[in-house]
Amino acid sequence: MAEDPRIGEEARTANQILLEDAISRGISLERLKNMLVRDLVGFLNDEVYPEVLGKLTAALERIRLRGGDSGVWSTQRYADLLAKVKDAIDAGTAEARARYIDQAVDLASAESAWQVAQFDSVAGGLGFDFVTPPKATLRAIVTQEPFEGDTIRSWFDNLGNDTLRRVQRSVDLGLAQGETLEEIVSRVRGTKAAGYADGAFAASRNQAETIARTAAVHVSSRAREQTFAENSDVVKGATWVATLDDRTCPICGGLDGQTFDVGKGPRPPAHPNCRCTAVPALRSWKELGIDLSNAPPGTRASMNGEVPDSMTFPEWLRKQSRQTVEDVLGPGRADLFLSGEKSFDQFTNDRGRILTLAQLGAG
């Protein structure tokens, strides 16, 4: 059998191939996140918010017809208004959550299946039997595991509660100022002239978008991590890969390129709207207990266990303009970084939190 012509200095290792595939997959994940955002926000705009406005308008009209004094918000009529609005928001948010959870479970399954396919593509011919996690495990990742301190149910509960507070605040202000029903509704919905970006619902749409994006990264990351764990006889760890641009934060930039054992260390998302990913690191021939001389000739150089060399975020950042460095770090930290007074990893503490200039001893 002829030896694979790629073997030699130019040959790509299995871990290099997995890294390149994961970066390419990241582009697809960005598109998927955009789709999830459009679906969630579209559902809120088309189904939930019109229902809330309908309940609000009807209740305000009843108050107007029956009369009220300056303390109307403390009357039973106002309490009834809030109860009807709350019911509409709670029901709509619960349906939105159920839709998103179903989509997220599909995402988890797709990410796991994709990762196993990548393992098969680089090492499937070596006799390894790669497996995906059980569907129940993937669903538990979506429904039970917290990200940024809360489960997905809690994130949607917060969305509903915050929306109710925003609506109530708008109604209170409108009633206090003696506004018409139409003016109060406009406060909640927003005005057409401003593209409805000036109403109470606008903040809730932004909140929903953050939930959709961050949850997608969490689900994708945890589904892959669970797949690593299911195949830990071959997978030894995960390497943090940050998106290298001027929106990469110091937390993610500092983690870029670091490899952690399966089940240990941090995983994306590091914060809301995080765009990082984790790439598997396969074990070497020696770690797998396989005699290299018995390996198929075309794969002898591929399973060396080494994490591929790549430009780290700090290296990338040093090649950018002063303005880009300031956009990422802020002017003060940029001075410390570019002068060499502080290394990039010194800008965060052991919990990954960004340190102030005062904490860095520079302010």
The residue that leads in pLDDT, 282 or 319, is 282
Length of the chain as a residue count: 363
Strands of 210-302, DSSP E? 235-241, 259-261, 277-282
Residue 131, φ and ψ in degrees, nearest 5: -130, 155
CA distance 46 to 313: 41
pLDDT above 80: residue 95 = yes
Instruction: Give pLDDT tens digits for 312-323.
Output: 567 767 877 888
CA nearest neighbour of 50 among 22, 103, 91, 88: 88
Instruction: Give pLDDT tens digits for 322-337.
Output: 887 887 788 888 899 8
CA nearest neighbour of 121 among 299, 305, 2: 299
Instruction: Give pLDDT tens digits for 205-261.
Output: 999 999 999 999 899 989 999 999 999 988 988 888 876 555 677 888 788 778 888
CA distance 344 to 250: 8
- Residue 239, H or E segment: strand 235-241
Q: How many Cα neighbours within 13 Å face the side chain of 67?
A: 0
The dihedral built from the CA positions of residue 206, 60, 171 and 98, taken in this order, carries a sign that is negative
pLDDT at 300: 46
Report the predicted TM-score, pTM, of the whole model to 2 decimal places: 0.75
Average pLDDT estimate for 173-197 = 92
